[in-house]
Amino acid sequence: MKIKMKSYTEKFRHLIETYKHAWVLLYAFIYFPWFSYLEKHVTTHFNVIHMGIDDHIPFCEFFIIPYLLWFAYVAGTILHFFLKNKQDYYRLCTFLFVGMTVFLIISTVYPNGHYLRPHTFPRDNVFTHLVGWLYSTDTATNLFPSIHVYNSLGVHLSICNSREFQQNRRIKTASFVLMSSIILSTVFLKQHSMFDVLTAFIMAGVMYAFVYGRAFASQRQKSPAKSWRHI
C-alpha cells in the first residue's frame, strides 16, 4: 500500500512539474470578472464609436460561423502550445493577455459603444437566430480594440512563428483563412466598427515587435546555421 501511495505521489509531482506553466491561465480570474463588470455597467452612457465606412458594410448573418469558431481557434491553439511547446505557449499568452488588459483599461477609462446593429434582420434563418442570440448575450459596448480581431491576429502570428509549423503550409494557410474570416465577421455582423478593427491591428503590430520581433532576430543572429537546418 505504501509503495502504491509513493507511486501516486511521484506521478502527481511529475504532473505538477510538467504542467506548472498552467499558472498563466489564472489570468482568467482577472479578465472575466472585470469584463463582466464592464458589460453590466457600460450600457447607455458611452462614447459612440463610428466611421463612415461602417455605413457601407452590409449585414451578413452567415459570418456568425467564423465568429463563433473564434472560441475554438483561440482556446485550441493555447491548449496545443500548452501541451507541446512552453516557449510558444508563453509568447502567445503574453501577446493575448497584455492586449486584453489594455482593452479592459481602455473600456474602463473611456466607456464606448456603437449603434450599428440592425433593428430587424433582413432574413429569417438559423444564422439570424444565432446572431440574435449573440446580440442578447453580448452588448454593443466595450469595443476597441476588438479582442476578436486582436486575438485572431495573435493566434495566427504564433502559428507562423512556431518552428513546429514552419514547413506546414496547410496549417498556416488554414489559420490565415480562418483568421481573415473572423476579422471580417466582426464588421459584417455589426459587432464592431472598422475603428475597432484598425486599432486591433495597431496594437497587434506593437505587441508583435515586443513578443516576437526582437526575440526571433536575436535567435537568428546567435545561431543562423542551426536555425536554417530546422527550416
- How much is the average pLDDT of 81-108? 95
Residue 224 pLDDT > 80, yes or no? no
Residue 2 pLDDT > 80, yes or no? no
| Domains identified in the chain, total number | 1
Residue 81 pLDDT > 70, yes or no? yes
pLDDT score for 51: 96
- How much is the average pLDDT of 67-78? 97
> Picking from 15-19, 92-96, 99-103, 164-168, which range would have the lowest pLDDT averaged per residue?
15-19
pLDDT score for 126: 97
2 inside domain: no
Tally the residues of the chain: 231
CA distances from 116 to 16, 79, 123, 140, 199 (A): 48, 34, 17, 8, 18
* Matching residue, cell 504532473: 15
pLDDT score for 188: 98
pLDDT score for 21: 82
Does 20 or 25 have the greater pLDDT score? 25
19 inside domain: no
180 inside domain: yes
Give the CA-trace dihedral at 198, 201, 207, 208, to 10 degrees: -160
47 inside domain: no
What are the φ and ψ backbone dihedral angles of 161, each rounded to 5 degrees? -95, 0
pLDDT, tens digit, 9 for 90 and up, residues 166-187? 889 999 999 999 999 999 999 9
80 inside domain: yes
Note down the domain range covering 79: 59-229
10 inside domain: no
Q: How confident is the model at residue 7 (pLDDT cuts 50, 70, 90)?
A: low
36 inside domain: no
pTM, two decimal places: 0.87
72 inside domain: yes
Cell of 217: 532576430
* Matching residue, cell 506593437: 206
Neighbours of 14 (CB within 10 A): 10
Cell of 106: 481602455
Can the peptide bond before residue 33 be classed as cis, meaning omega within 30 degrees of 0? no
Q: How far apart are CA 212 and CA 88, in angstroms?
A: 10
Give me the percent of the chain exceeding a pLDDT of 70.
Answer: 85
pLDDT score for 19: 76
Give the CA-trace dihedral at 134, 201, 70, 75, to 10 degrees: -130
Residue 206 pLDDT > 90, yes or no? yes
pLDDT, tens digit, 9 for 90 and up, residues 57-68? 999 999 999 999
pLDDT score for 166: 87
pLDDT, tens digit, 9 for 90 and up, residues 99-138? 999 999 999 999 999 999 999 999 999 999 999 999 999 9
